[in-house]
């Protein structure tokens, strides 16, 4: 996803001698080969019901993630909920993640589904570019996503098309900006203590 140099946060001088450390940040490598257990059957079943549904399928830390393009999201969610072999009838959580480095897919929406019938958990992830932050709403499929999508709009500025009432939920209605985006500052004021000034936490030099 990106490459990091040195051990300190950006814009701060490095006196440690570790400035030549280079680390590459790689997010979510697609799974290769069979996954075992129920994972293959669910993946194949969804591929049967929805044409070409995956950007990639990731299996990490014992958790299965379907990366689904936003054009297919609504259709895939209906299938995941209603098909007898899938039956993910419960949408536990929707959350956003902002990856400013990922050009063309800066904003991610992550859905956590639960099948109570089969006792399985599944993560569905979809992405949209910052320039066109539109993702179809899944409220018609999962009414539970209503407030979660409002929160994701509030915090990340992702517009859920078809949401019945997409307004801010945690921040005041007239708030400007979307606080949990990475380019939104944390805020805070410098603290003066015994003659020195300590900058707010997001402006301090820090390890990374």
Partner 1 sequence: MTAQHTDYYGTPGEETEGTVYTAMGGGDFADIAREQAERSDETLVINMGPQHPSTHGVLRLMVECDGETVKSIRPGIGFLHTGIEKNMEYRSWTQGTTFVTRMDYVSPLFNEAAYCLAVERLLGIEDRIPQRATEIRVLMMELCRIASHLVAIGTGGMEIGALTVMTIGFREREMILDFFEAVSGLRMNHAYIRPGGVANDLPETGIAQLRTLIGWLEKHLPEYAAFCNENPIFKGRMCGIGHQDLSACFALGVTGPVLRSTGYAWDLRKQQPYCGYETYDFDVITWDTSDAYGRFRVRLQEMWESLKIVKQVTERLDASTGQPVMIDDPKIAWPAKLAVGPDGQGNSHEHIKHIMGESMEALIHHFKLVTEGFRVPVGQAYVPIESPKGEIACHVVSDGGRKPYRVHMRDPGFNHLQSVPIQCEGGMIADVVVAIGSLDPVMGGVDR
Tokens 């009414």 correspond to what residue?
Answer: 143
Minimum CB separation of residue 104 from partner 1 in Å reads: 18
Minimum CB separation of residue 206 from partner 1 in Å reads: 8
Can residue 71 be called a binding residue for partner 1 (CB under 8 A)? Answer: no
From the list 11-19, 38-46, 138-146, 191-199, the region that binds partner 1 by CB under 8 A is 138-146
Which residues of 61-195 form beta strands (DSSP E)?
Answer: 63-67, 90-98, 107-115, 120-128, 134-136, 159-161, 191-193
Can residue 87 be called a binding residue for partner 1 (CB under 8 A)? Answer: no
Minimum CB separation of residue 129 from partner 1 in Å reads: 18
Can residue 118 be called a binding residue for partner 1 (CB under 8 A)? Answer: no
Can residue 62 be called a binding residue for partner 1 (CB under 8 A)? Answer: yes
Minimum CB separation of residue 8 from partner 1 in Å reads: 11
Q: Judge whether 117 and 87 are in contact, CB under 8 Å.
A: yes
From the list 33-41, 42-50, 161-169, 191-199, the region that binds partner 1 by CB under 8 A is 161-169
Contacts of residue 150, defined as CB under 8 A and 6 or more positions apart, other chains included, come to 163, 165, 166, 167, 168, 169
Q: Single out the residue of 52, 35, 50, 180 nearest to residue 122, CA to CA.
A: 35
Minimum CB separation of residue 198 from partner 1 in Å reads: 14
Can residue 123 be called a binding residue for partner 1 (CB under 8 A)? Answer: yes
Q: Judge whether 64 and 122 are in contact, CB under 8 Å.
A: yes
Question: Residues 5 to 44: which contact partner 1 by CB under 8 A?
Answer: 23, 25-28
Read off the tokens for 79: 């299938």
Q: Which is nearer to partner 1, 100 or 104 (CB)?
A: 100
Contacts of residue 153, defined as CB under 8 A and 6 or more positions apart, other chains included, come to 159, 160, 163, 166, 168, 178
Contacts of residue 133, defined as CB under 8 A and 6 or more positions apart, other chains included, come to 107, 156, 157, 158, 159
Minimum CB separation of residue 32 from partner 1 in Å reads: 16
Contacts of residue 81, defined as CB under 8 A and 6 or more positions apart, other chains included, come to 87, 88, 89, 141, 142
Interface ranges with partner 1 (CB under 8 A): 1, 23, 25-28, 60-63, 65, 74, 78, 89-93, 95, 97-98, 110, 112, 114, 116, 119, 121, 123, 136-137, 140, 142-148, 151, 161-162, 164-165, 168-172, 179-180, 186, 201-202, 206-208
């Amino acid at each position: 996803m990106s490459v990091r140099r040195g051990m300190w946060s950006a814009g701060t001088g490095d006196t440690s001698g570790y400035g030549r450390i280079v680390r590459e940040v790689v997010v979510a490598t697609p799974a290769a080969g069979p996954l075992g257990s129920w994972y293959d059957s669910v993946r194949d079943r969804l591929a049967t019901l929805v044409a070409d549904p995956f950007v990639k399928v990731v299996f990490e830390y014992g958790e299965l993630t379907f990366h689904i393009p936003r054009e297919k999201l609504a259709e895939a969610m209906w299938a995941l909920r209603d098909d007898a072999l899938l039956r993910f009838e419960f949408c536990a959580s929707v959350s956003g993640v902002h990856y400013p480095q990922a050009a063309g897919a800066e904003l991610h929406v992550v859905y956590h589904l639960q099948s109570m019938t089969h006792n399985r958990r599944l993560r569905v992830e979809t992405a949209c570019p910052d320039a066109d932050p539109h993702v179809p709403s899944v409220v018609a499929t999962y009414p539970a996503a209503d407030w979660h999508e409002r929160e994701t709009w509030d915090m990340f500025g992702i517009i859920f098309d078809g949401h019945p009432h997409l307004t801010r939920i945690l921040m005041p209605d007239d708030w400007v900006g979307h606080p949990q985006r990475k380019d939104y500052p944390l805020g805070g004021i410098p603290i003066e203590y015994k003659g020195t000034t300590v900058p707010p936490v997001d402006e301090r030099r820090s390890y990374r």
